[in-house]
Amino acid sequence: MKIKDFKDKKVTIIGLGLHGGGVGAAKFFSRAKAKVLVTDLKTKDELAESIEKLKKEPIKYVLGQHRSEDFINADLIIQNPGVRDKSKYLEIARENNVPIETDIGIFFELCTVPIIGVTGSRGKSTTSVLIARFLKRRYSEVILAGNIRSSALLKLKKIDKDTKVVLELSSWQLAGLKSHKKSPAYAVLTNLMPDHLDRYKDMEQYIRDKRKIFRWQKSDNYLVLNYDDKQVREFSQEAKSKVFYFSQNNQSASDFQGSFVKDDKIYFNSEEICSLEEIRLKGRHNLSNVLAAVTMAKIHRVPNKSIQKVLSKFEGLEGRLELIGVVRGIEYINDTTSTIPEACLAALRTFPKRNIILIAGGNDKNLEFKELARGIVKRVKAVILLKGNATDKIKKALDEELNLNNQYLEIIGPLDSMEEAVAKATEQAEEFERSIVLLSPASSSFSMFRHEFERGEAFNKAVSSLK
């Protein structure tokens, strides 16, 4: 496959989306001189931001609907990760023998250098960014793309034989590799937790897609696994590649190759890398991300001093335990990318000696909230709930936990305004010393927002108005 093969081909892109993936694919095929048609069930107004980015491209749009003819008469269908495989329009394409591809599948065919792929239920963005920053200390050209709101396809022309490519890969993007039978030459699997069960039939199906990160690896490839996650650790039995691990708990290099913590220091095999005091990034869960990234960096022979410099400066990513500001002594933390209960629990554990006012709730992904309810009752002073069907489940789980232990917790909401949620949270926080207002929803955002980053922006704006 070559880029020139797409010239004059009729390419239908299903799902323009709001995160940049559909925009990147549309630009790529348009610039490859394909005849591009973009179709999305969202309206022109809803997609205005994405359409604006494509205004210079000769693209045809069918919005607010899908039409059968656009899937019958096409030479190629590009499926956005947000579009389900069982879409009746994809079925129409299959019935008419029109090939269906994904942007990541195309990228894997066209990329001429080994790919470093990172996946996991949590931590894949932070791990991917850290790996890229470590590599930039040693290599002149490093590309970071994938699920991190940056299109991989648009980076293809920048790649030469010395380029290092780091891709964050979601389960849906990994699913697109099935027809290519390709996995990254270097793969990282951070962890596995229940997620996206509103889209997957069960956890087994979700894991099946995650497994594709290493399924087609070769004997000279590398796989980095979380030793502390039993399910992830056991994937080593299936791997054909060279397996390395990372662990917060195992304090010995004798059990595996990889990174671990001992005496408040990070080691790679028997080599001391840095002390934990040098790491600026907060949170025990983030220590796992650091260990995963350090392991991949050492596989690529990044010097320890370079690793230390990155870790001493890196504070984290947007919407991931991000300190937005301090207003009248109250800290406001944006953790909007917390879209599953385990992520919220990890955030709560990050502030063990603080009085936490939690803003949570949103749309359900068919997940359980009992463990989260226990964590909230144990660690939180008050909860402000945003509206959504997950909120109903969170409220029920909290009520059951409180009744079981005959306890009381201030629960406010559900509210349909982030501004009101922040105001109510501030009122509660003012009753305590050393308090923080933590947005960590444990749910998806679609009940009130287009995506989690819009939710985070609404939180930031509400906090700014307090100053």
User: Hey, how many other C-beta atoms are within 10 angstroms of the C-beta on 143?
Assistant: 22
Looking at residue 283, what is its pLDDT? 86
Tokens of 315: 């504070």
Looking at residue 376, what is its pLDDT? 98
Strands 164-168 and 10-14: unpaired
Average pLDDT over residues 177-198: 91
Which stretches of 283-422 are assigned E, i.e. beta strand? 322-327, 330-334, 355-360, 380-386, 410-415
Q: Fold for 322-464, please state it.
A: Protein-Tyrosine Phosphatase; Chain A (3.90.190)
Looking at residue 201, what is its pLDDT? 79
Strands 330-334 and 322-327: antiparallel
Looking at residue 410, what is its pLDDT? 96
Q: Which CATH code fits 6-101?
A: 3.40.50.720
> Would the pLDDT of 439 be above 90?
yes
Q: Which residues of 288-309 are buried (b: 16+ CB within 10 A; e: fewer)?
A: bbbbbbbbbbbbbebebebbbb
Close Cβ partners of 17 (under 8 Å, ≥ 6 residues apart): 23, 40, 50, 80, 82
Where are the chain's structural domains? 6-101, 105-313, 322-464
* Helices vs strands, H then E, count in the chain: 16, 20
Q: Sign of the CA dihedral 392, 394, 399, 400? A: positive
Element (H, E) at 30: helix 21-31
Strands 76-79 and 142-146: unpaired
Phi/psi class of residue 119: alpha, beta or left (left: φ > 0; alpha: ψ in -120 to 50)? beta
> Would the pLDDT of 253 be above 70?
no
Looking at residue 20, what is its pLDDT? 63
Looking at residue 62, what is its pLDDT? 97
> Would the pLDDT of 19 be above 70?
no
Give the Cα separation of 272 and 308 in Å (integer): 11
pLDDT digits (tens, 9 = 90+) for 101-152: 999 999 999 999 999 999 999 999 999 999 999 999 999 999 999 887 778 9
pLDDT tier at 21 (50, 70, 90 boundaries)?
Answer: low
Helix/strand/coil percentages in the chain, nearest 5: 35, 20, 40
> Would the pLDDT of 391 be above 80?
yes
Smallest CA-to-CA distance from 50 within 77, 17, 15, 11 is with: 17
How far from 364 is each of 191, 369, 424, 462, CA to CA, in Å?
A: 21, 10, 23, 24
pLDDT tier at 195 (50, 70, 90 boundaries)?
Answer: confident
User: Hey, how many other C-beta atoms are within 10 angstroms of the C-beta on 344?
Assistant: 27
User: Hey, how many other C-beta atoms are within 10 angstroms of the C-beta on 418?
Assistant: 24
Looking at residue 165, what is its pLDDT? 98
Element (H, E) at 268: strand 265-268
Strands 410-415 and 330-334: unpaired
Average pLDDT over residues 57-73: 97
Give the Cα separation of 34 and 11 in Å (integer): 7
Tokens of 230: 């039993």
Looking at residue 280, what is its pLDDT? 93
Answer whether 454's CB lies under 8 Å from 374's CB. Answer: no
Whole-number mean pLDDT of the chain?
Answer: 94
Looking at residue 338, what is its pLDDT? 94
Strands 35-40 and 60-63: parallel
Q: Which residues of 70-92 are buried (b: 16+ CB within 10 A; e: fewer)?
A: bbeebebbbbbbbbeeebebbeb
Q: Which CATH superfamily is domain 105-313 in?
A: Mur-like, catalytic domain (3.40.1190.10)
- pTM equals 0.86
Element (H, E) at 165: strand 164-168
Answer whether 184's CB lies under 8 Å from 219's CB. Answer: no
pLDDT digits (tens, 9 = 90+) for 296-344: 999 999 999 999 999 999 998 888 999 999 999 999 999 999 999 999 9
Give the Cα separation of 191 and 226 in Å (integer): 6
